[in-house]
Structure 1
Amino acid sequence: MVNFSAPKAAGLAPWFDITALLLWGALLLKYAITGQLALLIHPNYFGLCVAAGIILLLLGLGKLLQQVRPQVSGGESVQHITLLPQNVGSALLIVVAIAGFLIPPTILSSQTAIQRGLTEELPLTRSQPESFRVGTSPEERTLLDWIRTLNVYPEPDAYTGDPVKVNGFVTHLPQLPDNYMMVSRFVLTCCAVDAYPVGLPVKLEGDRQAFAPDSWVEVTGEMITEDLQLTTEAEGDNNLPQRQLVIQASAVEPIPTPRNPYDY
Protein backbone atom coordinates (compact mmCIF):
# COMPACT_ATOMS: atom_id res chain seq x y z
CA MET A 1 0.00 0.00 0.00
CA VAL A 2 1.33 3.45 -0.88
CA ASN A 3 1.72 5.85 2.04
CA PHE A 4 0.55 9.27 0.92
CA SER A 5 0.88 10.91 4.36
CA ALA A 6 4.65 11.44 4.19
CA PRO A 7 4.65 13.25 0.79
CA LYS A 8 1.67 15.32 1.90
CA ALA A 9 3.40 16.35 5.14
CA ALA A 10 6.56 17.18 3.21
CA GLY A 11 4.54 19.37 0.85
CA LEU A 12 2.97 21.28 3.73
CA ALA A 13 6.22 21.76 5.65
CA PRO A 14 7.30 24.97 3.84
CA TRP A 15 3.89 26.54 4.46
CA PHE A 16 4.08 25.76 8.17
CA ASP A 17 7.53 27.38 8.30
CA ILE A 18 6.36 30.43 6.34
CA THR A 19 3.33 30.91 8.59
CA ALA A 20 5.43 30.60 11.76
CA LEU A 21 8.04 33.10 10.50
CA LEU A 22 5.44 35.67 9.43
CA LEU A 23 3.37 35.35 12.60
CA TRP A 24 6.34 35.70 14.94
CA GLY A 25 7.78 38.61 13.00
CA ALA A 26 4.42 40.38 13.07
CA LEU A 27 3.94 39.61 16.78
CA LEU A 28 7.28 41.13 17.80
CA LEU A 29 6.61 44.26 15.76
CA LYS A 30 3.07 44.47 17.15
CA TYR A 31 4.45 44.40 20.71
CA ALA A 32 6.92 47.15 19.81
CA ILE A 33 4.37 49.40 18.07
CA THR A 34 1.72 49.09 20.80
CA GLY A 35 4.20 49.58 23.65
CA GLN A 36 3.45 46.14 25.09
CA LEU A 37 7.11 45.23 24.76
CA ALA A 38 7.71 47.34 27.88
CA LEU A 39 5.67 44.80 29.87
CA LEU A 40 7.92 41.95 28.79
CA ILE A 41 11.56 43.03 28.52
CA HIS A 42 14.08 45.71 29.50
CA PRO A 43 14.24 48.72 27.13
CA ASN A 44 17.86 47.82 26.32
CA TYR A 45 16.51 44.91 24.27
CA PHE A 46 13.79 46.77 22.36
CA GLY A 47 16.04 47.31 19.35
CA LEU A 48 17.03 43.65 19.27
CA CYS A 49 13.38 42.55 19.29
CA VAL A 50 12.43 44.97 16.53
CA ALA A 51 15.38 43.79 14.43
CA ALA A 52 14.40 40.16 15.06
CA GLY A 53 10.81 40.88 14.00
CA ILE A 54 11.95 42.51 10.76
CA ILE A 55 14.35 39.64 9.98
CA LEU A 56 11.65 37.03 10.63
CA LEU A 57 9.25 38.85 8.31
CA LEU A 58 11.89 39.05 5.58
CA LEU A 59 12.71 35.36 5.95
CA GLY A 60 9.02 34.47 5.80
CA LEU A 61 8.46 36.60 2.71
CA GLY A 62 11.56 35.10 1.08
CA LYS A 63 10.34 31.55 1.65
CA LEU A 64 6.88 32.56 0.44
CA LEU A 65 8.39 33.90 -2.78
CA GLN A 66 10.27 30.63 -3.27
CA GLN A 67 7.02 28.67 -2.92
CA VAL A 68 5.01 30.87 -5.24
CA ARG A 69 7.80 31.21 -7.82
CA PRO A 70 10.05 28.13 -7.59
CA GLN A 71 12.32 29.48 -10.33
CA VAL A 72 13.47 32.20 -7.90
CA SER A 73 15.06 29.55 -5.68
CA GLY A 74 18.67 28.75 -6.46
CA GLY A 75 18.08 25.02 -6.08
CA GLU A 76 16.22 22.34 -4.23
CA SER A 77 15.24 23.41 -0.73
CA VAL A 78 16.88 21.54 2.13
CA GLN A 79 14.73 20.44 5.07
CA HIS A 80 16.31 20.91 8.48
CA ILE A 81 16.56 18.05 10.97
CA THR A 82 14.37 18.30 14.08
CA LEU A 83 13.73 16.17 17.15
CA LEU A 84 9.97 16.54 16.71
CA PRO A 85 7.89 14.95 13.95
CA GLN A 86 7.68 16.96 10.76
CA ASN A 87 5.64 20.17 11.03
CA VAL A 88 5.04 19.72 14.79
CA GLY A 89 7.65 22.30 15.79
CA SER A 90 6.32 24.90 13.36
CA ALA A 91 2.74 24.12 14.40
CA LEU A 92 3.65 24.78 18.05
CA LEU A 93 5.24 28.08 17.11
CA ILE A 94 2.12 29.04 15.17
CA VAL A 95 -0.16 28.21 18.11
CA VAL A 96 1.97 30.21 20.56
CA ALA A 97 2.13 33.19 18.18
CA ILE A 98 -1.66 33.18 17.73
CA ALA A 99 -2.05 33.05 21.52
CA GLY A 100 0.26 36.08 21.70
CA PHE A 101 -2.09 38.02 19.43
CA LEU A 102 -5.20 36.96 21.35
CA ILE A 103 -3.87 37.28 24.92
CA PRO A 104 -2.21 40.62 25.70
CA PRO A 105 0.66 40.72 28.20
CA THR A 106 -0.35 41.89 31.67
CA ILE A 107 1.40 43.76 34.46
CA LEU A 108 2.89 41.67 37.26
CA SER A 109 0.52 41.66 40.23
CA SER A 110 0.84 42.27 43.96
CA GLN A 111 0.36 38.54 44.54
CA THR A 112 3.43 37.92 42.40
CA ALA A 113 5.29 40.47 44.51
CA ILE A 114 4.36 38.60 47.69
CA GLN A 115 5.37 35.26 46.19
CA ARG A 116 8.75 36.61 45.06
CA GLY A 117 9.44 38.25 48.41
CA LEU A 118 8.61 41.95 48.72
CA THR A 119 11.22 43.81 50.79
CA GLU A 120 12.99 47.15 51.00
CA GLU A 121 16.28 45.51 50.02
CA LEU A 122 17.85 44.96 46.63
CA PRO A 123 18.89 41.29 46.21
CA LEU A 124 22.66 40.90 46.13
CA THR A 125 22.39 38.52 43.20
CA ARG A 126 20.58 41.12 41.08
CA SER A 127 21.99 43.88 38.94
CA GLN A 128 21.82 47.25 40.62
CA PRO A 129 19.21 49.69 39.29
CA GLU A 130 20.56 51.94 36.56
CA SER A 131 19.31 55.32 37.76
CA PHE A 132 20.21 56.71 41.17
CA ARG A 133 20.36 60.44 41.75
CA VAL A 134 22.43 61.04 44.88
CA GLY A 135 21.90 64.80 44.92
CA THR A 136 18.10 64.82 44.85
CA SER A 137 16.15 66.23 47.77
CA PRO A 138 14.06 63.73 49.78
CA GLU A 139 10.70 64.84 48.34
CA GLU A 140 12.04 64.36 44.79
CA ARG A 141 13.18 60.78 45.31
CA THR A 142 11.28 58.03 43.58
CA LEU A 143 10.44 54.81 45.35
CA LEU A 144 13.47 53.17 43.76
CA ASP A 145 15.67 56.09 44.85
CA TRP A 146 14.59 55.50 48.45
CA ILE A 147 15.24 51.76 48.17
CA ARG A 148 18.69 52.39 46.72
CA THR A 149 19.45 54.99 49.41
CA LEU A 150 18.52 52.50 52.13
CA ASN A 151 20.78 49.88 50.58
CA VAL A 152 23.71 52.30 50.50
CA TYR A 153 23.03 53.87 53.93
CA PRO A 154 20.99 51.27 55.87
CA GLU A 155 20.13 53.36 58.91
CA PRO A 156 16.37 54.02 59.01
CA ASP A 157 16.53 56.58 61.84
CA ALA A 158 18.74 58.84 59.70
CA TYR A 159 15.76 59.62 57.46
CA THR A 160 13.17 60.30 60.17
CA GLY A 161 11.17 63.42 59.36
CA ASP A 162 12.19 63.55 55.68
CA PRO A 163 9.33 64.49 53.35
CA VAL A 164 8.37 61.83 50.83
CA LYS A 165 6.23 61.64 47.71
CA VAL A 166 6.31 58.33 45.81
CA ASN A 167 4.02 56.26 43.66
CA GLY A 168 3.57 52.55 43.10
CA PHE A 169 1.02 49.75 43.31
CA VAL A 170 -0.64 48.65 46.52
CA THR A 171 0.33 45.37 48.17
CA HIS A 172 -1.27 43.96 51.32
CA LEU A 173 1.26 41.90 53.27
CA PRO A 174 -0.68 39.49 55.50
CA GLN A 175 1.87 39.82 58.32
CA LEU A 176 1.32 43.59 58.65
CA PRO A 177 -1.47 45.20 60.71
CA ASP A 178 -4.60 46.38 58.91
CA ASN A 179 -3.50 50.03 58.94
CA TYR A 180 -0.31 49.23 56.98
CA MET A 181 0.15 48.55 53.29
CA MET A 182 3.13 48.45 50.95
CA VAL A 183 3.72 50.85 48.07
CA SER A 184 5.62 48.71 45.58
CA ARG A 185 7.34 48.55 42.21
CA PHE A 186 8.91 45.79 40.13
CA VAL A 187 12.47 46.22 38.90
CA LEU A 188 13.47 44.65 35.58
CA THR A 189 17.04 43.61 34.83
CA CYS A 190 16.29 41.58 31.69
CA CYS A 191 12.66 40.53 31.35
CA ALA A 192 9.47 40.10 33.36
CA VAL A 193 10.49 36.58 34.36
CA ASP A 194 13.39 37.86 36.48
CA ALA A 195 11.66 41.03 37.74
CA TYR A 196 11.91 41.46 41.49
CA PRO A 197 9.67 43.57 43.77
CA VAL A 198 10.74 46.34 46.12
CA GLY A 199 8.61 48.53 48.34
CA LEU A 200 8.18 50.55 51.51
CA PRO A 201 5.58 50.19 54.28
CA VAL A 202 2.93 52.91 54.47
CA LYS A 203 1.19 53.70 57.76
CA LEU A 204 -2.41 54.77 57.18
CA GLU A 205 -4.90 56.66 59.30
CA GLY A 206 -7.59 54.11 58.47
CA ASP A 207 -7.90 50.56 57.15
CA ARG A 208 -5.89 49.46 54.12
CA GLN A 209 -8.99 47.87 52.61
CA ALA A 210 -9.78 51.34 51.27
CA PHE A 211 -6.97 50.75 48.77
CA ALA A 212 -7.36 47.63 46.67
CA PRO A 213 -4.30 45.48 45.92
CA ASP A 214 -2.76 46.24 42.51
CA SER A 215 -4.28 49.73 42.42
CA TRP A 216 -1.79 52.54 41.79
CA VAL A 217 -1.43 55.34 44.31
CA GLU A 218 0.67 58.40 45.01
CA VAL A 219 1.67 58.57 48.67
CA THR A 220 2.63 61.85 50.33
CA GLY A 221 3.89 62.10 53.89
CA GLU A 222 7.04 61.89 55.97
CA MET A 223 9.43 59.17 57.00
CA ILE A 224 9.22 57.53 60.41
CA THR A 225 10.75 54.36 61.86
CA GLU A 226 8.85 51.51 63.47
CA ASP A 227 9.43 47.89 64.41
CA LEU A 228 7.73 45.75 61.76
CA GLN A 229 7.91 42.20 60.47
CA LEU A 230 8.10 42.22 56.66
CA THR A 231 9.29 38.64 56.13
CA THR A 232 7.41 35.38 56.61
CA GLU A 233 8.58 32.07 58.01
CA ALA A 234 9.09 30.75 54.49
CA GLU A 235 11.42 33.65 53.64
CA GLY A 236 13.84 33.43 56.51
CA ASP A 237 14.64 32.15 59.98
CA ASN A 238 14.57 35.56 61.65
CA ASN A 239 10.92 36.52 61.80
CA LEU A 240 11.21 38.99 64.67
CA PRO A 241 10.12 42.59 64.07
CA GLN A 242 12.94 44.78 62.80
CA ARG A 243 13.51 48.52 62.66
CA GLN A 244 12.01 49.66 59.36
CA LEU A 245 11.68 52.91 57.49
CA VAL A 246 7.95 53.65 57.16
CA ILE A 247 5.99 56.31 55.30
CA GLN A 248 3.57 58.11 57.61
CA ALA A 249 0.97 58.97 54.99
CA SER A 250 -0.68 62.38 55.05
CA ALA A 251 -2.36 61.78 51.68
CA VAL A 252 -2.89 58.75 49.45
CA GLU A 253 -4.27 59.59 46.01
CA PRO A 254 -5.30 57.03 43.35
CA ILE A 255 -3.45 57.47 40.04
CA PRO A 256 -3.80 55.75 36.65
CA THR A 257 -1.64 52.72 35.96
CA PRO A 258 1.44 54.08 34.16
CA ARG A 259 2.09 53.01 30.59
CA ASN A 260 5.43 51.62 31.73
CA PRO A 261 4.91 50.26 35.27
CA TYR A 262 8.44 48.94 35.85
CA ASP A 263 11.68 50.47 37.12
CA TYR A 264 15.17 49.61 35.91
Structure 2
Amino acid sequence: MNRGSQAVVLVLLGGAILRASLTDLYLRYVKQGLRPFLIAAGVVLVVAAVVALVQELRHLNRPDDAGDGADDGHGHGRSGPAVGWLLLLPALALLFLVPPALGADTASRAGSALTEDRDVAYPPLPPREPAELTLLEYGYRAVYDDGRTLRGRQLQLTGFLAPGPDGRPMLARIVLSCCAADGVPIKVGLRGEVPALPADTWIRATGRWIPHTVKDPVNDADVPSFQVDTWERIAAPAEPYE
Protein backbone atom coordinates (compact mmCIF):
# COMPACT_ATOMS: atom_id res chain seq x y z
CA MET A 1 0.00 0.00 0.00
CA ASN A 2 1.64 3.24 -1.16
CA ARG A 3 0.93 6.69 0.20
CA GLY A 4 -1.72 7.28 -2.43
CA SER A 5 -3.58 4.15 -1.37
CA GLN A 6 -3.23 5.16 2.27
CA ALA A 7 -4.78 8.50 1.42
CA VAL A 8 -7.73 6.73 -0.25
CA VAL A 9 -8.26 4.70 2.93
CA LEU A 10 -8.18 7.90 4.99
CA VAL A 11 -10.74 9.53 2.68
CA LEU A 12 -13.08 6.55 3.09
CA LEU A 13 -12.64 6.48 6.86
CA GLY A 14 -13.18 10.21 7.18
CA GLY A 15 -16.13 10.12 4.80
CA ALA A 16 -17.72 7.25 6.71
CA ILE A 17 -17.36 9.13 10.02
CA LEU A 18 -18.82 12.29 8.48
CA ARG A 19 -21.72 10.35 6.95
CA ALA A 20 -22.55 8.81 10.33
CA SER A 21 -22.14 12.03 12.31
CA LEU A 22 -24.14 14.21 9.90
CA THR A 23 -27.11 11.84 10.14
CA ASP A 24 -28.69 10.04 13.09
CA LEU A 25 -26.56 6.96 12.45
CA TYR A 26 -23.90 8.06 14.94
CA LEU A 27 -26.46 7.77 17.75
CA ARG A 28 -26.17 4.00 17.48
CA TYR A 29 -22.54 4.23 18.52
CA VAL A 30 -22.07 7.20 20.87
CA LYS A 31 -23.97 9.76 22.93
CA GLN A 32 -25.45 12.82 21.26
CA GLY A 33 -22.96 15.22 22.85
CA LEU A 34 -20.05 13.64 21.00
CA ARG A 35 -21.30 14.67 17.57
CA PRO A 36 -19.04 17.77 17.22
CA PHE A 37 -15.97 15.65 18.00
CA LEU A 38 -16.95 13.07 15.39
CA ILE A 39 -17.43 15.77 12.75
CA ALA A 40 -14.06 17.29 13.64
CA ALA A 41 -12.37 13.87 13.44
CA GLY A 42 -13.93 13.18 10.04
CA VAL A 43 -12.83 16.55 8.69
CA VAL A 44 -9.27 16.04 9.97
CA LEU A 45 -9.04 12.64 8.29
CA VAL A 46 -10.33 13.95 4.96
CA VAL A 47 -7.99 16.97 5.03
CA ALA A 48 -5.05 14.74 5.94
CA ALA A 49 -5.92 12.44 3.04
CA VAL A 50 -6.07 15.33 0.56
CA VAL A 51 -2.69 16.62 1.76
CA ALA A 52 -1.20 13.14 1.43
CA LEU A 53 -2.57 12.76 -2.11
CA VAL A 54 -1.12 16.12 -3.17
CA GLN A 55 2.27 15.20 -1.75
CA GLU A 56 2.20 11.80 -3.45
CA LEU A 57 1.35 13.36 -6.83
CA ARG A 58 4.22 15.82 -6.47
CA HIS A 59 6.53 12.98 -5.50
CA LEU A 60 5.56 10.90 -8.53
CA ASN A 61 6.12 13.82 -10.88
CA ARG A 62 9.76 14.19 -9.83
CA PRO A 63 12.03 12.59 -12.49
CA ASP A 64 14.65 11.52 -9.94
CA ASP A 65 12.21 9.42 -7.90
CA ALA A 66 11.69 6.63 -10.42
CA GLY A 67 13.45 4.03 -8.33
CA ASP A 68 11.95 4.87 -4.95
CA GLY A 69 9.49 2.02 -5.08
CA ALA A 70 12.16 -0.69 -4.95
CA ASP A 71 11.62 -3.61 -2.61
CA ASP A 72 13.40 -3.28 0.74
CA GLY A 73 14.09 -7.02 1.06
CA HIS A 74 11.12 -7.69 3.35
CA GLY A 75 8.42 -8.10 0.75
CA HIS A 76 7.40 -4.47 0.57
CA GLY A 77 9.04 -1.28 -0.47
CA ARG A 78 7.99 2.31 -0.02
CA SER A 79 4.40 1.18 -0.49
CA GLY A 80 4.22 -0.49 2.94
CA PRO A 81 2.50 -3.76 3.92
CA ALA A 82 -0.73 -4.77 2.20
CA VAL A 83 -2.35 -5.44 5.58
CA GLY A 84 -3.13 -1.72 5.68
CA TRP A 85 -6.04 -2.41 3.33
CA LEU A 86 -7.81 -3.99 6.29
CA LEU A 87 -8.47 -0.44 7.45
CA LEU A 88 -11.06 -0.32 4.68
CA LEU A 89 -13.30 -2.80 6.51
CA PRO A 90 -14.59 -0.45 9.25
CA ALA A 91 -15.00 2.32 6.69
CA LEU A 92 -17.03 0.11 4.36
CA ALA A 93 -19.07 -1.15 7.30
CA LEU A 94 -19.97 2.42 8.27
CA LEU A 95 -20.78 3.32 4.69
CA PHE A 96 -22.93 0.35 3.72
CA LEU A 97 -24.14 -1.37 6.90
CA VAL A 98 -26.61 -0.01 9.44
CA PRO A 99 -26.22 -2.02 12.64
CA PRO A 100 -29.15 -2.32 15.04
CA ALA A 101 -28.98 -0.49 18.35
CA LEU A 102 -28.32 -2.52 21.49
CA GLY A 103 -31.59 -4.01 22.66
CA ALA A 104 -33.33 -6.90 24.38
CA ASP A 105 -30.44 -9.32 24.06
CA THR A 106 -28.12 -6.92 25.89
CA ALA A 107 -30.79 -6.26 28.52
CA SER A 108 -31.16 -10.01 29.17
CA ARG A 109 -27.43 -10.71 29.48
CA ALA A 110 -26.22 -7.60 31.36
CA GLY A 111 -27.04 -6.45 34.88
CA SER A 112 -29.25 -3.45 35.56
CA ALA A 113 -27.71 0.01 35.93
CA LEU A 114 -29.18 0.61 39.41
CA THR A 115 -26.10 -0.42 41.36
CA GLU A 116 -25.17 2.82 43.18
CA ASP A 117 -27.14 4.04 46.18
CA ARG A 118 -28.00 7.66 45.43
CA ASP A 119 -28.96 9.16 48.76
CA VAL A 120 -30.18 12.54 47.50
CA ALA A 121 -33.36 14.57 47.82
CA TYR A 122 -35.39 14.17 44.64
CA PRO A 123 -37.47 17.22 43.68
CA PRO A 124 -41.21 16.91 43.01
CA LEU A 125 -42.24 15.97 39.50
CA PRO A 126 -43.61 18.70 37.21
CA PRO A 127 -47.40 19.10 37.48
CA ARG A 128 -48.09 17.88 33.97
CA GLU A 129 -50.10 14.64 33.76
CA PRO A 130 -48.82 12.18 32.85
CA ALA A 131 -45.32 13.05 33.96
CA GLU A 132 -42.78 11.84 31.38
CA LEU A 133 -39.74 10.15 32.89
CA THR A 134 -36.78 8.30 31.51
CA LEU A 135 -36.42 4.77 32.80
CA LEU A 136 -33.31 5.82 34.72
CA GLU A 137 -35.16 8.67 36.42
CA TYR A 138 -38.01 6.35 37.30
CA GLY A 139 -35.59 3.75 38.62
CA TYR A 140 -33.73 6.23 40.85
CA ARG A 141 -36.92 7.62 42.32
CA ALA A 142 -38.55 4.21 42.75
CA VAL A 143 -35.56 2.46 44.34
CA TYR A 144 -33.52 5.12 46.13
CA ASP A 145 -36.39 7.40 47.17
CA ASP A 146 -38.93 4.61 47.86
CA GLY A 147 -41.27 6.13 45.29
CA ARG A 148 -41.91 9.21 47.44
CA THR A 149 -42.21 11.61 44.49
CA LEU A 150 -44.03 9.02 42.33
CA ARG A 151 -46.98 8.23 44.58
CA GLY A 152 -50.38 9.21 43.27
CA ARG A 153 -49.04 10.38 39.92
CA GLN A 154 -49.76 9.26 36.37
CA LEU A 155 -46.43 8.48 34.74
CA GLN A 156 -45.25 7.81 31.20
CA LEU A 157 -42.25 5.64 30.35
CA THR A 158 -40.74 4.80 26.96
CA GLY A 159 -38.54 1.83 26.15
CA PHE A 160 -38.32 -1.51 24.42
CA LEU A 161 -39.70 -4.82 25.64
CA ALA A 162 -37.33 -7.48 26.90
CA PRO A 163 -37.92 -10.82 28.60
CA GLY A 164 -37.63 -10.60 32.37
CA PRO A 165 -36.05 -13.18 34.65
CA ASP A 166 -39.51 -14.27 35.87
CA GLY A 167 -40.77 -14.79 32.32
CA ARG A 168 -42.80 -11.57 32.30
CA PRO A 169 -41.94 -8.75 29.90
CA MET A 170 -40.02 -5.82 31.24
CA LEU A 171 -39.40 -2.35 29.87
CA ALA A 172 -35.74 -1.60 29.21
CA ARG A 173 -33.37 0.89 27.68
CA ILE A 174 -29.60 1.04 27.33
CA VAL A 175 -27.74 3.72 29.27
CA LEU A 176 -24.47 5.04 27.83
CA SER A 177 -21.62 6.72 29.65
CA CYS A 178 -19.80 7.42 26.39
CA CYS A 179 -20.43 4.88 23.65
CA ALA A 180 -22.24 1.63 22.93
CA ALA A 181 -19.27 -0.37 24.20
CA ASP A 182 -20.01 0.73 27.79
CA GLY A 183 -23.79 0.50 27.52
CA VAL A 184 -25.70 -1.06 30.43
CA PRO A 185 -29.45 -1.64 30.63
CA ILE A 186 -31.94 -0.02 32.95
CA LYS A 187 -34.82 -2.42 33.59
CA VAL A 188 -38.35 -1.88 34.86
CA GLY A 189 -40.70 -4.78 35.54
CA LEU A 190 -44.22 -4.47 34.11
CA ARG A 191 -47.54 -5.35 35.76
CA GLY A 192 -51.14 -4.79 34.74
CA GLU A 193 -51.97 -4.33 31.05
CA VAL A 194 -48.71 -5.76 29.79
CA PRO A 195 -48.47 -5.90 25.96
CA ALA A 196 -47.96 -9.31 24.40
CA LEU A 197 -45.45 -8.16 21.79
CA PRO A 198 -42.08 -9.48 20.61
CA ALA A 199 -38.85 -8.47 22.32
CA ASP A 200 -37.28 -5.22 21.04
CA THR A 201 -40.71 -3.71 20.33
CA TRP A 202 -40.79 -0.09 21.45
CA ILE A 203 -43.77 1.11 23.48
CA ARG A 204 -44.87 4.18 25.40
CA ALA A 205 -46.57 3.06 28.60
CA THR A 206 -48.74 5.14 30.93
CA GLY A 207 -49.39 3.98 34.44
CA ARG A 208 -48.38 4.19 38.10
CA TRP A 209 -45.57 3.37 40.46
CA ILE A 210 -46.12 0.32 42.63
CA PRO A 211 -44.01 -0.62 45.67
CA HIS A 212 -42.67 -3.84 44.20
CA THR A 213 -38.98 -4.47 43.57
CA VAL A 214 -37.12 -7.62 42.56
CA LYS A 215 -33.44 -8.48 42.25
CA ASP A 216 -31.72 -8.74 38.91
CA PRO A 217 -30.24 -12.25 38.74
CA VAL A 218 -27.29 -10.98 36.68
CA ASN A 219 -25.83 -8.48 39.17
CA ASP A 220 -28.31 -8.48 42.10
CA ALA A 221 -29.34 -4.88 41.35
CA ASP A 222 -32.83 -3.66 42.23
CA VAL A 223 -35.42 -3.75 39.46
CA PRO A 224 -38.48 -1.59 40.20
CA SER A 225 -41.96 -2.33 38.87
CA PHE A 226 -44.51 -0.26 36.97
CA GLN A 227 -48.27 -0.75 36.80
CA VAL A 228 -49.32 -0.32 33.17
CA ASP A 229 -52.75 1.24 32.59
CA THR A 230 -52.44 1.97 28.86
CA TRP A 231 -49.74 1.61 26.25
CA GLU A 232 -49.07 2.32 22.60
CA ARG A 233 -46.62 0.82 20.17
CA ILE A 234 -44.16 3.33 18.73
CA ALA A 235 -41.31 3.37 16.24
CA ALA A 236 -37.79 3.10 17.62
CA PRO A 237 -36.57 6.64 18.40
CA ALA A 238 -33.68 8.18 16.50
CA GLU A 239 -31.77 8.34 19.81
CA PRO A 240 -32.32 4.87 21.28
CA TYR A 241 -30.08 5.25 24.33
CA GLU A 242 -30.42 7.17 27.57
Please indicate the TM-score interval, normalised by the length of the shorter structure.
0.7 to 0.9
Contact kept in structure 1, 2:141 and 2:149, CA below 8 Å: no
Displacement after TM superposition at 1:150 (Å) = 3.3
Partner of 2:211: 225
- Work out the number of aligned pairs and report it: 224
* Identity over aligned pairs, percent: 22
How do residues 15-54 of structure 1 correspond to structure 2 at under 5 angstroms? 15-54=4-43
2:170 pairs with one of 182, 189, 196: 182
Displacement after TM superposition at 1:152 (Å) = 4.2
How do residues 1-264 of structure 1 correspond to structure 2 at under 5 angstroms? 12-70=1-59, 86-118=80-112, 121=114, 123-124=115-116, 135-137=125-127, 139-142=130-133, 143-150=135-142, 152-153=144-145, 155-156=146-147, 159-173=150-164, 175-177=165-167, 180-205=168-193, 210-226=196-212, 229-232=214-217, 234-236=218-220, 245-263=224-242
Contact kept in structure 1, 2:20 and 2:94, CA below 8 Å: no
**Secondary structure, in 3 states, of the residue corresponding to 2:16?**
helix
- Give, as a single letter, the amino acid of the residue that structure 2 aligns with 1:150: A
Name the TM-score, length of structure 2 as normaliser. Answer: 0.79
Partner Cα separation in structure 1 for residue 61 and residue 142 of structure 2: 64
Displacement after TM superposition at 1:157 (Å) = 7.3
- Kindly report the root-mean-square deviation, in angstroms, between the aligned alpha carbons of the 2 structures: 3.1
Q: Deviations over 1:112-140 (max 9, x none)?
A: 11111236x1x349xx9xxx975434732
Name the TM-score, length of structure 1 as normaliser. Answer: 0.73
- The structure-2 alpha-carbon separation of the partners of 1:139 and 1:133, relative to structure 1 and needing over 3 Å to count, comes to farther
**Secondary structure, in 3 states, of the residue corresponding to 2:100?**
coil
Partner of 2:71: none
Contact kept in structure 2, 1:65 and 1:72, CA below 8 Å: no
Contact kept in structure 2, 1:157 and 1:224, CA below 8 Å: no
Q: Deviations over 1:229-262 (max 9, x none)?
A: 4422x534x9xxx8x6422211121011111111
Displacement after TM superposition at 1:163 (Å) = 1.7
**Secondary structure, in 3 states, of the residue corresponding to 1:250?**
strand
- Give, as a single letter, the amino acid of the residue that structure 1 aligns with 2:40: A
Partner Cα separation in structure 2 for residue 140 and residue 63 of structure 1: 55
Question: Which 5+ residue runs of structure 2 have no aligned equivalent?
Answer: 69-75
- The structure-2 alpha-carbon separation of the partners of 1:245 and 1:64, relative to structure 1 and needing over 3 Å to count, comes to closer
Partner of 1:3: none
- The structure-2 alpha-carbon separation of the partners of 1:134 and 1:92, relative to structure 1 and needing over 3 Å to count, comes to farther
Partner Cα separation in structure 2 for residue 219 and residue 211 of structure 1: 13
Displacement after TM superposition at 1:89 (Å) = 4.6
- The structure-2 alpha-carbon separation of the partners of 1:62 and 1:134, relative to structure 1 and needing over 3 Å to count, comes to farther
Displacement after TM superposition at 1:105 (Å) = 2.9
Partner Cα separation in structure 2 for residue 99 and residue 44 of structure 1: 23
- Give, as a single letter, the amino acid of the residue that structure 1 aligns with 2:13: W
Partner Cα separation in structure 1 for residue 150 and residue 240 of structure 2: 26
Partner of 2:73: none
Partner Cα separation in structure 2 for residue 54 and residue 166 of structure 1: 38
- Give, as a single letter, the amino acid of the residue that structure 2 aligns with 1:37: Y
